[in-house]
Amino acid sequence: MAGCCGHDDVAFAGMSAAYRRVLWLVIAINAVMFIIETLAGHRAESQALKADALDFLADSVTYGISLWVIGKAGRTRALAALAKGVSLALMGFWVLGSTAYQVLALGMPEATMMGAIGLLACAANLASVLLLVRYKDGDANVRSVWLCSRNDAIGNLAVVGAAGLVWTFNSGIPDLVVAGAMAGLFCWSAREIIRRALGELRLQAAAAHET
């Protein structure tokens, strides 16, 4: 991948008016979908929808931080990416915990609402992915934006699939499996963001030491 650790001095850092406009647009998309999926997740008693709503919230915050650090020093951008990676990992652990709780008090999610909201969220995320695909490679800050957007698209496709399985088998297990898989995806993405951010911090420290 372009811009991996050790070569981030030439990576795209978001210094583009077009990139800023895209970020504002995807912030709006994700904020609206967070509200919709949170309400729907509680009504449908779906852990997968709740987990996906949390991902929308994380993305909104991630994009906001990404806008704020554009143009700032490399160390500031790397620290912001590191913070986003840690928060994403914590979110993954929270989803795992809430999923485990749901297993102990298993409630049957409403498959129809899961599917309908999942399709709406999928459309929103595919729009975000198409807007951001040109900027999928860059420094840790830019890369974290792409990973969050991609996670949303994958997660929504999984939610739609889980809704179909819940309806077909009249079981809440597929909902829990998808929520657990999404938590794993959060943790995997967090690992990549943290690894890249730490690499950039090491690069910044080495450059400062040489001067």
**Structure confidence by residue, pLDDT tens digits, 41-59:** 888 777 667 777 877 887 7
For residue 25, the model assigns a pLDDT of 92
- Residue type (1 letter), 178: V
Q: Write down the residue that tokens 């994403």 correspond to.
A: 88
Q: What is the 3-state secondary structure (H, E, C) of the chain?
A: CCCCCCCHHHCCCCCCHHHHHHHHHHHHHHHHHHHHHHHHHHHHCCHHHHHHHHHHHHHHHHHHHHHHHCCCCHHHHHHHHHHHHHHHHHHHHHHHHHHHHHHHCCCCCCHHHHHHHHHHHHHHHHHHHHHHHHHCCCCHHHHHHHHHHHHHHHHHHHHHHHHHHHHHHCCCHHHHHHHHHHHHHHHHHHHHHHHHHHHHHHHHHHHHHHC
pLDDT over threshold 80, residue 111: no
Percentage with pLDDT > 90 across the chain: 5
Q: Which two structure tokens, joined as six digits, stand for 100?
A: 């485990």
- Residue 96 or residue 137, greater confidence: 137
Q: What structural domains and CATH numbers belong to the chain?
A: 13-210 (1.20.1510)
For residue 110, the model assigns a pLDDT of 65
Mean pLDDT of 175-195: 79
For residue 107, the model assigns a pLDDT of 56
CA 45/CA 107 separation, integer angstroms: 7
pTM across the whole model: 0.64
Whether 38 and 126 have beta carbons less than 8 Å apart is answered as no
